[in-house]
Structure formats: structure tokens, C-alpha cells
Chains A and B, each alone.
Chain A
Amino acid sequence: MRINCPLCGTRDRREFYYYGAEDYLDRPAPEAPAQAWDDYLHNRDNPAGVTRDLWYHDLGCSSWLVVTRNTVTHEILAVEAVADRKGGAA
């Protein structure tokens, strides 16, 4: 498996650390109800098909990446830097 890092180019997956679903980017407000935090921390879909998850270019540029990939075919459809997303202020 190879991930096309926006900064470093296409690299073997051994250079990357896998974290989890893209959901981790949608941090609830501090005062959000417990259910919102529970969903954010624990509840995940497990799709057979297209999924978006977070990878860290550990042995590269230290970028956090959103990788869109297909869990059935192993195709990687898109790779974006987390920092380049719009509107991610805490």
C-alpha cells in the first residue's frame, strides 16, 4: 500500500502511522452533551467500501493526512493534508 503524501510524494505505508476515522477531526464544543462526546470518541462506522481515515507521516514530514480509500479494493482515492482543511479552529 502506498500513500501519496501531498508534501513528500508517494511513499510506502510503513512510513505512516494509522490513527482512526476522520471523525476525530470533528471535535464537539466543550459544553456539548455527553452523547456528542461519546459519539466523537467511540462510535464509528465500519464500511465495506469507501472510508476516510487519518494517517500520520511519522517517518516523513509529520503531516496528518485524511486518506480516502476503499476497504474492499484497497484503492486510495484521495489524500489531503489535515492542516489544509477549511475552518478547523478549536
Chain B
Amino acid sequence: MRLEGKGLVDRGAPVSFTFDGRSYMGFAGDTLASALLANDVRLVGRSFKYHRPRGILTAGSEEPNALVEVVEGNQQTPNVRATVQEVFDGLVARSQNRFPSLSFDVMGVNDLLSPFFSAGFYYKTFMWPRPFWEKLYEPLIRRAAGLGRLSGRHDEAQYEKAWAFCDVLVIGSGPAGLMAALTAAQAGADVILAEEDARMGGRLLSENCRVDGQPGADWAEAVLDELRGMPNVRLMARTTVTGAYDDGTFGALERVGLHRAPAPHLPRECFWRIVAGQAVLAAGALERAVGFPDNDRPGIMLASAVRSYLHRYGVVAGQRVAVLANNDGARATARDLMAAGVKVVGILDTRPDASAVEDCPVYLNAQVTGTAGRTGLRSVSFRHAGGAAVLEVDLLAVSGGWNPTVHLTCHMNGRPLWREDIAAFVPSPGAVPRLTAAGACNGAFSTAGCLREGRDAALVALAALGRAASDVALPVAEDAPYAITPFWETPGVEGRQWLDFANDVTTKDVKLSAQENFRSVEHMKRYTTQGMAPDQGKNSNVAALAVLADATGRGIPQTGTTTFRPPFVPTSIAAMGAGGRGAGFAPQRFLTSDQASRDRGAPMIEAGLWYRPSYFPKPGEATWLESCNREVLMVRESVGVADVSTLGKIDIQGRDAARFLDLVYTNTFSTLPVGRVRYGLMLREDGHVLDDGTTARLGEQHYLMTTTTAAAGLVMRHLDFVHQAFCADWDVRFVSVTEGWAQFAVAGPKARELLATLLGEVPALPFMGVADVALGSVKGRLFRISFSGEEGYEIAVPTRHGEALFRDLLARAETMGGGPYGMEALNVLRIEKGFITHAEIHGRTTAFDIGMEKMVSAKKDCIGKAAAARPGMVGPEREQLVGLKATGAMTAGAHLFVPGERVHRETDQGYVTSVCWSPVMGAHLALGFLKNGRARHGERVRVVDHLRKIDVVAEVCDPVFHDREGVKLRA
């Protein structure tokens, strides 16, 4: 029921929403929970295991019961806490975990069967017979248990992630947080104030309190006005700090669009990483419930939540109210309700020695022995110092004291400390470096205490930052002591006393766990599932371990807590992985020829982050192989053009450039004449091949290195390491110019003819020569190198001219019977010629293995030389590169065996790395590694791939199938 004149919601802005198909009205500023309570909806969900009817317990993100599905079009978001979800026009929510309806749920039968379903039930019952688990038990249990459902569709909504930096991060905007932010901001520090709630102010919005003579909410608004006016302050509402990480890094989840109707380009959430020089944790405290029989009925609510709904939303959740508490603070609930004209029928104080002076009956030494009302509370039975009684009530406000919100201080392995005087855990100081806890989360429960600790924490932060402190006066506020006598469960009564509402764990389950010797708090948690629900035990952990401590005869500090880990609240994977779905998963690199290739219908294939044309289909070609065969023959017989810009290009200059290349390459580059190109082999320090490629000498002190596409970044990192670690004083500098040049292979017997039409005159380059060329006013480079085995050139121009040159080259090639060729043909051409790629130099092959041991110069040191000479790195026991030729298809990954021998790992002779159909040879070709392979040319081997059903006999041969003497290359 909504009270006139109470609350901070905007009465001028009514909104309409639906819950379980029925329409309701609320106001802007309402949560779904407050709006439902205003409409007298008390039953909002069914519990996880027993399908017990449940109502709203809290007014915050720790809510264990009121979990709903929010529906947007064909999307649905499960397990949304109704206490966090703000209402907006058109919001559609529905209850979960019930069938067919919330008020009548067939699975409610579980509750009647609960004597069979105690803790450990699943472990004991469904273990046998074993095969039944996967086929029968698990699907049944999954259907019966569980919370909300996913839509089963892709989440097409938008999410974001972002970084933020500040001097001081203040977490929480209650009295402590506001004072901390104000103190830090007035000293000139960059401040971020992060608040989980939509509205800043914390408990000041939910209490009938005064600060400096004004209502708490007004004081908060005045401070916020001041902060809003300061350029060094950033206020982040709806932002939950979810985790504390190393070196002042925090994770935070901002609800950007969840409180309004979906709109194009409106992200739902943003996951922040906030880097703070110092942090003040002012996260407040969470009230805890009390154990008594059937303490989970709708209508039983935390006392602080009752005050929140009253003061913040102008809502009372009942007409006849009782209060059950073990502390003085909860008395405010009765007083505030009475002041608002609500009937309070009694205060049940569990303490025998508390004050009995209130404007309503007070029952001391009171213990609730039972409650009634299946889908909503009707009455409370209790005993007290003067006897026993039953009160007709529809709302019972409960307070078992407060738990400081210490979670973030535990994220870096800190263990909270037990404070007997407040019967609660507080953060251990310094648990998170550069973070100071202040206010209620530090065990200071009075408003004045919060204000003081907030200011003091900011002063600590400012001192650590080396900033002069500001002079901020402390406002005057109540400073009442917090008087509490712990009361965890009701002794000597029948019936289940619930601890963990979300996972349906009772005090009896915890005791059973102790009885079955799961006495460690970590074992108890796993045995009972206490604390493993979406609320992560925020409502139940301390009470559960108090019960466990009692059952095991230990104290609470000795029992200890389970570990609080990030995230503090449920955090959607979609937010943490924002931008990483679909094409956002990895960056895409496109060639300058990309559009031209796609224009010709070329399917694009991923090569690292690059997209390269697979083949260029022509009309009438039904398969990729037809296109590939045509392209191979085209290159062998006329001319083909391919974009090879993906290869890494590193420009190397300096007086010691040659010396440096001699160190990183196995072979010698200091002897390379200017204007010539040399193939180079690079080893890792452990003697295995790192990469290969050609390097051109453009000037006396100027080289251009080419790396493979796959290893471009790896080689750059390696060069940086060798230079900085071993020869930092040498005069050599290098930079990646991969993005700066578009480079095209022009290969085939008509390559020179084609280039002549383009360049007018082709420089008279020897094989492995390089020269500058001019294409009109554009300066380019022409290399005479070949990866196909034909007479080949590569022509390079600045990237911005790449597309024009590619289209031009294709047009010229096509008039000569040539054209473009793709990755498939490029692969066939290089296999026919026995050229290796990273399929062969896969990280476990040596220069010896690939037949290049003579390229390791004996005259100089190089990276990897010493290790490459170790025993076992050379010799006949090594698997050596060979060619394989067969009439049937082979597969990369197939293994090699001696024909007639058993096919077994012990008889394994080697493996296949690359395969193709060679239209030139009219045979299936492969490259692979065979034990002592170079001595076995001419032998036959059996090629076996069980996975792809390959079993053929191949002839072992030299890896160079085509033009072994290189006549065509040098033509």
C-alpha cells in the first residue's frame, strides 16, 4: 500500500508495467519490488529446491527471493532482482520457477517430500546405478530445480566496456561515502563516487534521520549538488563495484539501459575497469534475518527493508505489523511505522534485558515458535518472558543485527576479523592495499560514526597521495550506540528455520553437515549449498557459520568464513565480454585488394587476423578444386597475380644493421650486396626454427626483412629482445612497415611481359635482385623472388595505391590469359616446389630436419646455434623433411608407417604436414617428416589417418617436385 506524502518517488511520473501478465502502476523512482508492494503483491517467487512461496525480503541487491525474469521482445533475462530492477513504462516481468502459476505450483510437492531432500540427499541417492546419473537423474533434477530460464537465443543487445582513472575511488554514497568524496574532492583530488543504487545517499534515503539539522536525504542532496558542481568529481550511479584487484584496479558494473525501454544504440550494461590511486570502501552493511520456524513466508521482511520501503518509496508492506529484533536499531522500524499511521501490534525483542518502553506492546525474551499463512503471513506465534501469544499480523519486520559489507576487502585474500561487541565480521585493515574501509562496512553503525570515518578515510587517502587535506567540518548527526545480543536460531522448536532462502538451506541442514563430519565451513558450504545461490550467502553466511560454530562447539572466529570472491553481485558475461561477440571476437585485417577479390566472388579465408582470397571462381567451375587447378596451371603456363602484403615487413637501419642480421639469422647478411635479396633462416635460442623469409639489402646500412604472415609479431618481439638484451649499444633500429606497403606477386613465364606493359621497361634484375621502380609518380620496389617456382616478381607500392595497382595488374594479366590466384593455388605451387611454411616449421623442427643445416654459418655465432648442435638435434634418428607422392589423397596429420608393419605408435615413422593435388604432376603430393627421410628417397611408406579414413601407400621423394634445378626461377 502506498502512503500519501511519503517517499522520494516522483508522484508526477506514473508508469505502467506488467508482472505475470497483469498490469500495474508505479512511479518513476520505484523498483519493481516497491511497486509490487505498493500494489499489495506479496508473493513474487518460488524457492529453488522446495518451491516454497516467497516474498520480498530486502530492499537491495542482496535479495534472495524476489528473482524475476525480465522480458524484452524475444529476449528474456532471468534472475533479475526485483529490488534492483527499476520500473519503467512497458516493463514486462514474470515470476520464475513455478508451474503452472505462482500461486499454484505443482512442484510445491517437493516441500511435502522435504524430509527426504535434506542436505546431501543428491549425493547419497543419485549415485547409483551410475549410468542413471547422466540419462535420468540429472535431466530430472535440472528440470525440477533451478531458477530462471534463458531465451535460448543470441543476446543481440549491446554492451560496453570502459576504463576509468581517478585519484580516489569512493565505493558507496551513504553518509561515509559522501563525506569521503567531499573531503577528497575539496582537496582537489580526482574523485569517482560509485553507487550501486539509482539514487545516491545510501541509508540516508531510507531512515528517518537528521544531519546538521536537516532530513538526511536533504543533506545528501545538498552534498551531491556540491559534488556535481566540481569538475574533478565523477558521480557514477547504478554502478556496482564488483571486485578489487591488484594495484588499485577495480571492476564495476554499470546498469546503463536496464532501467528504461530498449532503444537503438542504448547499451544495457557497461563493465568498467577503474584504476584508482586510493580507494575508500563505504559499502555499508546488510541486515541479517533470524532463525525461527517458517521464517520464509511472504510478509516476513528485514526491518531495514521495511524502513526503506516506507521512507524511500512511501510504501508499507502490511497493515498490521510486528517487529522481531535482537538489537535497539530495529526499534526505529516500529516508531517510523507508527508515526506514519500504521498499526504496530508488538515488538518481540529476543533480549530479556532490553527496554520495554515504546508506544506499542513490547515482549521481552521473545522467541517466535511458528508462523501461519501459506502464500502470505497471517499470524505469528511466540513465547516471551510473560508466557506465549499469537499475533494476527500480515508483516513481520525482522532484524538479527547487521553484517558489514566486507566483501571487497576479501577479494585479495584478506580474512575479515570477528568483533564480539557488534557480533559481526569487520575488514582486516590493509586487506586490500591502498583501500580504507569506512562507516558501516567497517562496523561503525551510527550516522555520526559513518560521517567521521568517511572523512578520516579520505584524509588517509589524501596523505597517501601527497595532497594537502581539505578542511571539511563534520556535520552533527545521531551517535547512538549499537546494542545487540546475538540471536541466530530459536532453540527447542519444531519446524524448519531457514538460513539460506535462495538455496533452501535450514539450520538443521547445517547441523546435519556437522554431524556427518563436514565441520569445516568450506565443507559445510559445499555439503549444504549454503551461500552458493545468486546472493552468494550475503543473507545467510554469518548466521550459518554461527550455527555451525555452535554445532561443532567452536567459536565463530575459530570457525571462520568462506572466501568472498568477485564479483560482488551477479555480473552478466555479456557485459564482461562486451564487444567480443561475432565479428568483435578478434580484430579483422583487410588487404588493399580485399574489395577487388570479393568483387570477383572469391571466398575469403582467415590467415591469422587477415582475410585472404581462397580462390577466384569462374563461371562453370563447380568446386574449389576446379578453380584451384586452373589457377595453378595459369601460373605455370602464363601469369598469375596474388596479394602477398600479409607477410611481415621490417625496415632495419643503422651502422650495425648487417652485424645484427648476422646475429639473428643463421646465415650471413653482412656479405649480401646492395640491391640483392637473400633467403634467411631464423632460430629460437633452443635451436628450433623460428621463422624464414627473404631480406633485401636496400643500402649499405639499410635492409628490408620479410617474415611469414603467421610469425610477423613474433619475429618483431624476438628482434626487440635480441637487440635490447644482447646488443643494446649497437647502432641499429628497426620498425614494422607491414601496414605501409601493398605487395603483389606476379609469377609465371609471362610475368616479365606483364610488368613490361606496366613499367615500360623492366629493370634487368637477376634472380634475388631488388630495384626501385616508378609507376608514374608513385615510387615502388620490384623484387625478383618467387614462392611458386616460376619466374616471379613482387612489386610493392605504398598501401594507398594498393587497390589501384591490384586491379590494374589483374586487367593486364587477363588480356594475356592470366589472372588472380588465391591461397589454395599458392599452397599447391609452393608444395610442388617444396617450399616450407609454418606447417613445416611448426616449432619442433630444426634446420637439420628441413635440410638447411648448411645454412647455419660455421664462421659466426647466431641465436640458436649452440643449442642446435646439442645431441639429439641432428642425426638419422631425426624426422627429416621429405616429399610424398601417391595416387590416393593424403591428409595433413596422417602418420607414416613401413608397409607391412603393424600400425602403432611404436612403429610410427613420421607424419604429413602439407598436402595437395598437383595438376602439373597429375598426382597427390605431400610434404612431411620421416625418420632418416633423406636417406630413404625411393622407398614406399604407408600413410594412415584413422580419423579421416586415409590409408594409402606413397613414394618417398625429394621435397622439390617441380623444376628441381631452378631453371624456371632463373629464366
Q: Which residues of A contact B722 (CB under 8 A)?
A: 90
A-B contacts, 16 listed (Cβ < 8 Å): A1-B249, A19-B721, A24-B725, A25-B725, A28-B866, A30-B865, A34-B870, A62-B720, A64-B725, A74-B246, A74-B247, A81-B724, A82-B721, A82-B725, A88-B726, A89-B729
Q: Known pairs A2-B275, A27-B726, A88-B728. 5 more at Cβ < 8 A?
A: A30-B861, A37-B866, A56-B717, A83-B723, A88-B729
Whether the pair A17, B717 counts as a contact (CB closer than 8 A) is yes
Digitize B859-877: 1 where CB-to-A-CB distance is under 8 Å, 0 elsewhere: 0010001110011000000
Chain B residue, CB-CB nearest to A4: B247
Q: Is the CB of A79 closer than 8 A to any CB of chain B?
A: no
Chain B residue, CB-CB nearest to A62: B720
Q: How far is the CB of A21 from chain B (nearest CB, A)?
A: 13
Tell me the chain B residues, 248-262 only, with Cβ under 8 Å from chain A.
248-249
Whether the pair B686, A41 counts as a contact (CB closer than 8 A) is yes
Digitize B133-156: 1 where CB-to-A-CB distance is under 8 Å, 0 elsewhere: 000000000000000000000000
| A64→B717 CA distance, assembly (Å) | 9
Q: Which residues of A contact B721 (CB under 8 A)?
A: 19, 24, 54, 56, 64, 82
Q: Which residues of B contact A56 (CB under 8 A)?
A: 717, 720-721
Q: How far is the CB of A12 from chain B (nearest CB, A)?
A: 7
Whether the pair B247, A1 counts as a contact (CB closer than 8 A) is yes
Q: How far is the CB of B847 from chain A (nearest CB, A)?
A: 16
Q: Which residues of A contact B726 (CB under 8 A)?
A: 27, 88-90
Say yes or no: A83-B728 contact (C-beta < 8 A), given A32-B866, A37-B870, A41-B685.
yes
Q: Which residues of B contact A31 (CB under 8 A)?
A: 866
Q: Which residues of A contact B245 (CB under 8 A)?
A: 1
Q: How far is the CB of A82 from chain B (nearest CB, A)?
A: 5
| A63→B717 CA distance, assembly (Å) | 9
Chain A residue, CB-CB nearest to B660: A90
Q: Is the CB of B303 closer than 8 A to any CB of chain A?
A: no
Whether the pair A41, B725 counts as a contact (CB closer than 8 A) is no
Digitize A38-71: 1 where CB-to-B-CB distance is under 8 Å, 0 elsewhere: 0011000000000000101010001110000000
Q: Which residues of A contact B870 (CB under 8 A)?
A: 34, 37
Q: Which residues of B contact A28 (CB under 8 A)?
A: 866
| A76→B247 CA distance, assembly (Å) | 9
Q: Which residues of B contact A63 (CB under 8 A)?
A: 724
Q: Is the CB of B663 closer than 8 A to any CB of chain A?
A: yes
Say yes or no: A1-B246 contact (C-beta < 8 A), given A37-B866, A41-B686, A62-B720.
yes
Q: Which residues of B contact A17 (CB under 8 A)?
A: 717
Say yes or no: A83-B724 contact (C-beta < 8 A), given A2-B248, A34-B870, A89-B729.
yes
Tell me the chain B residues, 406-446 only, with Cβ under 8 Å from chain A.
412, 433
Q: Report which residue of A2, A17, A28, A75 has the largest number of chain B beta carbons within 10 angstroms of its beta carbon.
A: A2
Interface residues of B (CB under 8 A from A): 163, 245-249, 273, 275, 412, 433, 663, 685-686, 716-717, 720-729, 861, 865-867, 870-871
Whether the pair B249, A2 counts as a contact (CB closer than 8 A) is yes
Q: Which residues of B contact A76 (CB under 8 A)?
A: 247
Q: State which of B663, B716, B720 has its C-beta within 8 Å of the C-beta of A90.
A: B663
Q: How far is the CB of A38 from chain B (nearest CB, A)?
A: 8
Q: How far is the CB of B844 from chain A (nearest CB, A)?
A: 15
Say yes or no: A12-B273 contact (C-beta < 8 A), given A34-B870, A37-B870, A41-B685.
yes
Q: How far is the CB of B212 from chain A (nearest CB, A)?
A: 40
Q: Which residues of B contact A81 (CB under 8 A)?
A: 724
Whether the pair A30, B866 counts as a contact (CB closer than 8 A) is yes
| A64→B728 CA distance, assembly (Å) | 11
Chain A residue, CB-CB nearest to B736: A62
| A81→B724 CA distance, assembly (Å) | 9
Q: Which residues of A contact B249 (CB under 8 A)?
A: 1-2, 12
Whether the pair B246, A64 counts as a contact (CB closer than 8 A) is no
Say yes or no: A88-B727 contact (C-beta < 8 A), given A2-B249, A56-B720.
yes
What are the 7 tightest A-B residue pairs by CB atom distance, in nearest-first order? A90-B726, A83-B728, A2-B247, A83-B724, A1-B246, A64-B724, A30-B861
| A12→B433 CA distance, assembly (Å) | 17
Q: Report which residue of A10, A17, A37, A62 has the largest number of chain B beta carbons within 10 angstroms of its beta carbon.
A: A62
Say yes or no: A2-B866 contact (C-beta < 8 A), given A83-B724, A89-B729, A90-B727.
no
Q: Which residues of A contact B720 (CB under 8 A)?
A: 56, 62, 64
Q: How far is the CB of A16 from chain B (nearest CB, A)?
A: 11
Q: How far is the CB of B161 from chain A (nearest CB, A)?
A: 12
Chain B residue, CB-CB nearest to A57: B720
| A85→B412 CA distance, assembly (Å) | 34
Say yes or no: A90-B728 contact (C-beta < 8 A), given A12-B249, A34-B870, A76-B247.
no
Q: Which residues of B contact A10 (CB under 8 A)?
A: 247
Q: How far is the CB of B637 from chain A (nearest CB, A)?
A: 45
| A56→B861 CA distance, assembly (Å) | 25
Whether the pair A12, B275 counts as a contact (CB closer than 8 A) is yes
Chain B residue, CB-CB nearest to A84: B728
| A25→B248 CA distance, assembly (Å) | 31
Q: How far is the CB of B150 from chain A (nearest CB, A)?
A: 30
Q: How far is the CB of B266 from chain A (nearest CB, A)?
A: 27
Chain B residue, CB-CB nearest to A90: B726
| A55→B794 CA distance, assembly (Å) | 36
Digitize A1-18: 1 where CB-to-B-CB distance is under 8 Å, 0 elsewhere: 110000000101000010
Say yes or no: A82-B866 contact (C-beta < 8 A), given A1-B247, A90-B663.
no
Whether the pair B724, A2 counts as a contact (CB closer than 8 A) is no
Chain B residue, CB-CB nearest to A87: B729
Q: How far is the CB of B577 from chain A (nearest CB, A)?
A: 14
Q: How far is the CB of B610 from chain A (nearest CB, A)?
A: 19
| A27→B248 CA distance, assembly (Å) | 36
| A30→B867 CA distance, assembly (Å) | 9
Say yes or no: A90-B861 contact (C-beta < 8 A), given A25-B725, A37-B867, A82-B728.
yes
Q: Which residues of A contact B433 (CB under 8 A)?
A: 75
| A44→B865 CA distance, assembly (Å) | 22
Q: How far is the CB of B802 from chain A (nearest CB, A)?
A: 26
Q: Which residues of A contact B163 (CB under 8 A)?
A: 12
Chain A residue, CB-CB nearest to B870: A34
Q: How far is the CB of B659 from chain A (nearest CB, A)?
A: 10
| A54→B498 CA distance, assembly (Å) | 53
Q: Which residues of B contact A90 (CB under 8 A)?
A: 663, 722, 726-727, 861
Q: Which residues of A contact B866 (CB under 8 A)?
A: 28, 30-32, 37
Chain B residue, CB-CB nearest to A81: B724
Q: Which residues of A contact B685 (CB under 8 A)?
A: 24, 27, 40-41
Q: Which residues of A contact B727 (CB under 8 A)?
A: 88-90
Q: Which residues of A contact B275 (CB under 8 A)?
A: 2, 12
Q: Report which residue of A28, A58, A64, A90 has the largest number of chain B beta carbons within 10 angstroms of its beta carbon.
A: A90
Q: Which residues of B contact A19 (CB under 8 A)?
A: 721
Q: How far is the CB of A33 from chain B (nearest CB, A)?
A: 10
| A56→B725 CA distance, assembly (Å) | 12
Q: Which residues of A contact B724 (CB under 8 A)?
A: 63-64, 81-83
| A85→B721 CA distance, assembly (Å) | 13
Q: Which residues of A contact B871 (CB under 8 A)?
A: 34
Q: How far is the CB of A2 from chain B (nearest CB, A)?
A: 4
Chain A residue, CB-CB nearest to B663: A90
Chain B residue, CB-CB nearest to A64: B724
Q: State which of A1, A41, A85, A89 has its C-beta within 8 Å of the C-beta of B867.
A: A41
| A54→B718 CA distance, assembly (Å) | 13
Q: How far is the CB of A86 from chain B (nearest CB, A)?
A: 10
| A90→B275 CA distance, assembly (Å) | 40
| A37→B726 CA distance, assembly (Å) | 16
Q: Which residues of A contact B865 (CB under 8 A)?
A: 30
| A63→B725 CA distance, assembly (Å) | 10
Whether the pair A2, B725 counts as a contact (CB closer than 8 A) is no
| A75→B727 CA distance, assembly (Å) | 30
Chain A residue, CB-CB nearest to B862: A30
| A25→B247 CA distance, assembly (Å) | 27
